[in-house]
Structure 1
């Protein structure tokens, strides 16, 4: 496998006030393939930016080793690494024109003037800012400034391009537009992108693979489909989109067929290859959009014997435009969330608060998680 970045048991320990130590990154092992768009995803303070800064060379690991294209980066300063970084605040020089901002790094390398001019023109063309060369950063929109920062990073022709929440300052519509442009540009260039974000939808949209972090640990690495459909932990399931986490007790095992009693009241039958024992308490995850909701006496209910149907009372209905989120109380202690797409206007009239409803759950959409 051709790897662009390798982290081998990398940890970072910071000393804070009163010499108290804080473990920001805890023994992270990670392989990022050459040419892939890889995102580090997690909440604020989870260690993702510190990990990115260690790859860039702005921070040095307390322990472990970082390799870029099989070369150890130990004690190598940022300007001697084959990487470049795009920051959230863009860090543009206000007194320099757009062309001068993009050329700055090349000038520091004392490259010939014709070569600098040619590479700056190519970089600005790539981000569609050819006609803005003589303007200053203050004369550009936020999205255009972000493109300048990207051009300044690309012009140095790095082997790995690092992004630290680069779209965080943009409004929602522009951020979505820039996401599509970034993804298209990465495929066109073939450069390895390592992208830090706390935005789950952004990570799912952009990435070939995602690494989910929390409390300095790398919890799961996989494709967007694997992370969303097959989360390994409760945190990953809960952080990536909305989810229902149910707790149940295994009451019967017949080969790979198991029976679970959820909240000691609701029976659920699953097929699983995961090892479980009778009496074991397990956590189950199911996404709200996988569940179907029917009026109590509807004629349109599924006849599939493999689909579990539970009765409940509709407690809340929230219209979200493309879909509606329903909260249904199944037991005194348990409420389940369901999201149903608003395909037809009549769908909005099917349910009323306080109505008794049936909740249909396909067992193949339920995942058993570790903790």
Structure 2
């Protein structure tokens, strides 16, 4: 056996021993570290923006305005998503790229509960959007049954939120028992001595895999999307119908006196050719309220769809163990595609929550006015 072959065998044996001793890892290039740092800054701004929304919503004490309990809870959940992104990704970037040992130890103390909380939050957010949309539908309804009134009463809202959040915790609680921190004390690289893995029972349980993938995909992605699209279409159609009905009604007669004679000027009625069926009138012909509903629906549903579809694609690839997710050079290292795609999915989830205040400001004139009033009051308080 020549020296070259012997050296290759020794290197292969050392690599095999290292694979058994060290944890799976992802590389952090300067570009990736810079991008995640920028995303972390956006997440920090998102936490501030959602705290501001929560303050604005909770300060509404006017009895004749729609309740803001669901948007307030949604702002709390959006705040949680942004804060959890900082904990899970911003800190991980600092640990892996800057090699901070104390932060590495702290990171693996909270990683499992933070991960579980993130999954609970991701499940709860679409249902808070559904409840807020149902509330909009209730406020635009002319005939309100006693059941709907009870459901949208103060007590009804609190019961709905408590029950839904408890169900989200129950549905996501199995992941708390399925994830663990694996330790590799003999690894020569300190920053590869720990990682998160599924427990053995979770890897072998067909029922858990079915529940965690098929059932939760339906509960978190399919059902909320169908309900959000359907409910918002009903609201927009109803508002369009009301708008067309108002256009068909003749305007009040204008009475004026001229030279002691009563002159009645009747404004001609322009009949609208708009019909309410499977299509909607052009945006320019809609009232500001209808356009606001259209844009809000488009922004919320589109952002929700993008984040969940990307997450679904990534989950399918990971569950199938597709080769595209593994590095050809090192089986313990994720491929560049896996690293990039998972970063994009996590960022989009966080970004849709971070820009919620921007969506409200651009698409909802009422909340835009509340935000302007809030800053105006703070400015006046400073000058006083």
User: Do these two structures clear the TM 0.5 threshold for a shared fold by scoring above it?
Assistant: no
Higher helix share: 2
Query: 1 or 2 for the larger relative contact order (CA 8 Å, sep ≥6)?
Result: 2
Give me the TM-score of the superposition, normalised by structure 2: 0.20
Higher strand share: 1
